Amino acid sequence: MKRTKLKIHRQGIIMPFVKTFLLSFFLLLSVLSAGISYAAGDAKHPKQMHWAFDGFFGAFDRASIQRGFQVYKQVCSSCHSMHLKSYRNLTQIGFSEDEVKAIAAEYMVMDGPDDSGDMFERPGRPSDRFVSPYPNEKAARASNGGAYPPDLSLITKARVDGPNYVYSLLTGYEDAAEDVNLRPGQYYNPYMPGGKIAMPPQLSDGLVEYMDGTEATEGQIARDVVNFLQWAAEPEMEARKQMGHKAILFALILTILFYFSKKRIWSNLSQKD
Ligand code: HEC
């Protein structure tokens, strides 16, 4: 009698538990699979490159970032803004203050209003944001067949697997298969969700002439501009990683101290007691 009672009781506890477990398992499964199909989309998986900034000890490759800035300046900046960056930020990647002043002064910046209430143009200063190629989104769309070249300040963070994605996109243009219908001004790129992109292919061997003498192959140019965009999106990365190194070192020292103090505290208790 007692036994059966216990059995019933047990079932009463176990069944709701099993049900909840199964329910949360399936919920988790559906959420995860939704995430995976979202990430995969219908686009090709980006090429997996090796980057200097990868991993726990990853750091920025400043020479490459400087070359990448040259690529952005000479190529991408005619269509893409980077409105979160100021010229003075370039000192972080190794440009001197005089070099930054000279770079900023190459641009004309709208300022004002002056004493008579008029806006006026003046040469850029290090504290100015990067000058945008278009005055607004409508002007940008009008010049690009209706498509909007997105701001590149945070692009490597705004896309899944950002650095590899941007690298693959820039180097991944292909001739469209026969069953793909491209409108005028559209290009086939399997890394772009949907496969169609309104940005013409940008890179080719020898497109820029690097000031440091590095050979400007298409792959090198793509690598450099991605290094630049990754720095732009997360300039605090090195400080963040260094903080992690310190935290782990601290935890390690603390562990050793705790180990010895534990040994000492328990040392008067022998097992025979
Ligand atoms: C002639 C103008 C033009 C130039 C130059 C240009 N782009 Fe673009 N870019 C566009 C347009 C337009 C789009 C939007 C494409 C679309 O939505 O179909 C775009 C989109 C992009 C995207 C976003 C794709 C996405 O996932 O939405 C990235 C990244 C990008 N460009 C990077 C670059 C880089 C890096 C350079 C310099 C090497 C560059 N672009 C030069 C016009 C340009």
Residue type, 222: A
Q: Which atom of ligand 1 is nearest to the CA of 155?
A: 29
Report, as an integer, the average pLDDT of 45-65: 97
Report, as an integer, the average pLDDT of 52-73: 97
Supply the pLDDT for residue 271: 62
Supply the pLDDT for residue 12: 65
Q: Please provide residue 126's backbone torsions phi and psi, each rounded to the nearest 5 degrees.
A: -55, -30
Q: Looking at 72-86, 145-159, 160-174, 256-270, which range is the least confident one?
A: 256-270
Q: Which atom of ligand 1 is nearest to the CA of 169?
A: 29
Task: Assess whether pLDDT exceeds 80 at residue 27.
Answer: no
Q: Which atom of ligand 1 is nearest to the CA of 72?
A: 37
**158-192: b or e for each residue (b if 16 or more CB lie within 10 Å)?**
ebeebbbbbbbbbbbbeebeeeeeeeeebbbbbbb
At 32, the pLDDT band (50, 70, 90 cuts) reads: low
Percentage of the chain modeled with pLDDT above 70 = 89
Supply the pLDDT for residue 262: 94
Task: Assess whether pLDDT exceeds 50 at residue 195.
Answer: yes
pTM score, whole prediction = 0.84
Which residue's CA lies nearest to atom 38 of ligand 1? Answer: 76
Q: Decide: 193 in ligand 1 pocket, CB within 6 A.
A: no
Q: Looking at 21-30, 116-125, 153-162, which range is the least confident one?
A: 21-30
Task: Assess whether pLDDT exceeds 50 at residue 37.
Answer: no
Q: How far is the CA of 40 from the centre of ligand 1 (A)?
A: 21
Q: How far is the CA of 79 from the centre of ligand 1 (A)?
A: 7
At 99, the pLDDT band (50, 70, 90 cuts) reads: very high
Q: How far is the CA of 4 from the centre of ligand 1 (A)?
A: 72
Which residue's CA lies nearest to atom 21 of ligand 1? Answer: 149
Supply the pLDDT for residue 1: 47
Q: How far is the CA of 218 from the centre of ligand 1 (A)?
A: 16
Task: Assess whether pLDDT exceeds 90 at residue 50.
Answer: yes
Helices (H) and strands (E) in the chain, counts: 8, 4
Query: Tokens 């310190």 label which residue?
Result: 246
What rounded mean pLDDT belongs to the chain?
Answer: 91
Q: Decide: 91 in ligand 1 pocket, CB within 6 A.
A: no
Q: Which of 42, 65, 69, 79 to mutate to test the pocket of ligand 1 (most atoms within 8 A of CB)?
A: 79
Q: Which domains does the chain have, with CATH numbers?
A: 44-85+136-251 (1.10.760.10)
Task: Assess whether pLDDT exceeds 70 at residue 10.
Answer: no
